[in-house]
Chain A
Amino acid sequence: MYNLLFNSSNDYCVFVRESFTKVCNGDLSASILLSILENLTTTFTPDPNEIIDGDERIWIKQTCKEFISNSNGMLTANKTKSGLKTLVELGFILKRTHPYQKWNRTIQYHLLVNEVNKHLLAIEENE
């Protein structure tokens, strides 16, 4: 895309997509989180300590503070919690704690891409 304003390669960008907002039933926080999780899933590098045999799913380790930071300040702690709750309820993400380190309380998230795509297609067809 042509940029009018100076665009550094280091510049971090958060997208709020209309389609994501629709798929999350108008929950703006959930759509921002979905966008962040998609971005993180794409750029994911697996940690060998966390791989469970037979499980090839991508699990994103992310704290609430990290979500807020990655949203460029668009999210607050409460918005993040409610957004994640919406995504779990809609069945777009799965949650787990670290599979081996029981003391590690940072929650990991897995984005169910097919589920999101299904909903997006359904919305598109309805329109």
Chain B
Amino acid sequence: MENLITRPEKDFFVALRNSFVNVCNGDLPAAIILSILENWTIYKIKNIQQNKIHNEVLKKQGKKPVDVGDVWIYKSNSEFRTDSLGFLSKNSVISGIKTLLDLGFIEKRNNPKIGWDRTLQWKVVPEKINKCICHLPKQEDGGSYLGKAIPKNTSKKLLKDKSFNNNVSEKPKETTTAAKVDSVDVDSVDVDSVDVDSVDVDTDKTYSVDPVLGAVDSEIFNQILDNWNSCIKSNDIKGIPSPRSLTSKLKFDLTKPRVTQTISESIVNYTEQDGNSVEDINKAIGNYFRVLSNPDKYFYTFKFQNISVFIHSEKGVCKFKNDSYINTLRKKETDNADQYKKLRLSYDPVFFKYNSSNILDTNAQTYCGVGIGICKGRDISRILNEINSYVEFGVPGELAISYFFMLEETIVAGLYQKIDLDVLRDMIETHSANRTFHLKPTEIL
């Protein structure tokens, strides 16, 4: 472009690209720092290339080659401020760098050679940034992205156009994003490598194709939406809406009720974070509806307003993708105290008879007829092992009197110590199975 105003030689400048602001989630200092780091990285790359050429010359001359260098940028906070021409303050540099590190756009390290050097070094991760930039909504007018995530009319127009689906599959290389990625030579960007023709698209289903995502991603995202809707339908859950399309704009953050986001945007935002995948969302949806449809088993009854809130919320996909979290939601078997009481009542001792109106006899220092000392100090697991080994090798169905005696003591100790209910039930079952062998003849009659 022709310049109206003359440029002095070596005029330093900061270029703030709109796409940088968007990939940094509107964080201006982060975008400026990214721009600065990009320029320095380019400078470094050129230096490396120059050094390599220089080394070849030195090699021919039989001289020792010089260090080619690397792309790590040594830059302090004040240098960032100087490079931003005073636009950034000390704190904004810190916050901007934090944002970039959180987003995974840059890496940091200390000086590898000089241990005492506290100035950090930075490296741009172009693969990740390029991937995010490619996922940005395409702009038609070249204006600002701020405040307009996906142009309304664009998507609707394209969706109404019935030939759009065919166009996508027939002319995949015409999509502007793919064509532009070619020219940048970014190996890691997978937009270009996706062959739309080779993907088996279920022709029976009429998926809505998000014009920004393209057909392939739209299909995967539509499966998530289908999963959500089918779970609502099959479990007959009321109060949660079933959106029809990926382009449905929904509230995603309950703290910002006026801000909306399409479902596809929510999914993209989620998957862009480290360690998150589309499978996680599907798994979380399955788990969530399993919990919601079983109010008898789980105490969790909260209904998310919509799928976007579920994806965005910290208590949504993030929690429900973990099976361990589901276990924490499981209802505990009614009231444990009642359970122990029931077991105690079902237990009918042969040797340790007790007065049911005075279970804890303070005078005799007994609990259910067994001494308190035994109840407190009995190593239940050891006794159980002994009894079990006897049951295994002894006469089936008949427990020796000494072991039976021990079993009764252990059951009472278990009741006293409130051990695991299942273990206690097993013991009482064994007891009742062997009880008749140890009853006195008069008692049997």
Interface residues of A (CB under 8 A from B): 1-21, 26, 28, 31, 34, 38, 41-42, 69-70, 72-74, 111, 113, 116-117, 120-121, 123-124
Contact = CB atoms under 8 A, between A and B. Distances in A.
A64 to B, nearest CB: 14
Contact of B1 (A42, A116, A124): A42
B13 A15 contact: yes
B20 to A, nearest CB: 8
A69 B16 CA distance: 13
Contacts, number: 136
B2 A3 contact: no
Nearest to A29: B87
Contact of B85 (A5, A9, A16): A16
A28 B19 contact: no
Interface string B5-23: 1111101111111111100
A6 B134 contact: yes
Contact of A73 (B1, B14, B86, B146): B146
Most buried by A among B18, B45, B181: B18
A5 B126 contact: yes
B333 to A, nearest CB: 57
A12 B41 contact: no
A18 B181 contact: no
Contacts of B12: 17-18
Contacts of A3: 38, 42, 184
A8 B19 contact: yes
Contact of B16 (A8, A9, A26, A74): A74
Given A16-B85, A17-B11, A72 B138 contact: no
B399 interface: no
Interface in B134-162: 134, 138-140, 142-144, 146
A69 B144 CA distance: 6
Given A16-B14, A111-B4, 12 more contacts: A2-B42, A6-B19, A7-B180, A11-B19, A14-B15, A28-B87, A69-B144, A69-B146, A72-B28, A116-B5, A117-B6, A121-B6
16 contacts: A7-B184, A8-B176, A12-B143, A14-B15, A14-B16, A15-B16, A16-B14, A21-B85, A38-B4, A42-B3, A42-B4, A69-B143, A72-B18, A117-B6, A124-B8, A124-B9
A73 B16 CA distance: 10
Contacts of A26: 86
B85 to A, nearest CB: 5
Contact of A28 (B17, B85, B143, B184): B85
Nearest to B146: A73
A120 B18 contact: no
A7 B35 CA distance: 12
A41 to B, nearest CB: 6
A70 B144 contact: yes
Contact of A15 (B9, B15, B18, B20): B15
Interface in B56-70: none
Nearest to B133: A6
Contact of A9 (B5, B9, B180, B189): B180
A81 to B, nearest CB: 18
A42 B2 CA distance: 7
Given A113-B4, A117-B5, A72 B16 contact: yes
Contacts of A18: 11-13, 85
B47 to A, nearest CB: 13
Contacts of B8: 19, 120, 123-124
A124 B38 CA distance: 27
Interface string B98-128: 0000000000000000000000000010100
Nearest to A69: B144
Nearest to A8: B180
Most buried by A among B11, B38, B46, B143: B11
Contacts of A124: 8-9
A71 to B, nearest CB: 8
Nearest to A21: B85
B129 interface: yes
B172 interface: no
Nearest to A92: B5
A14 B142 CA distance: 12
A31 B86 CA distance: 12
B42 A4 contact: yes
A26 B171 CA distance: 51
B94 interface: no
B184 to A, nearest CB: 5
Given A9-B180, A41-B4, A120-B5, A72 B139 contact: no
A14 to B, nearest CB: 5
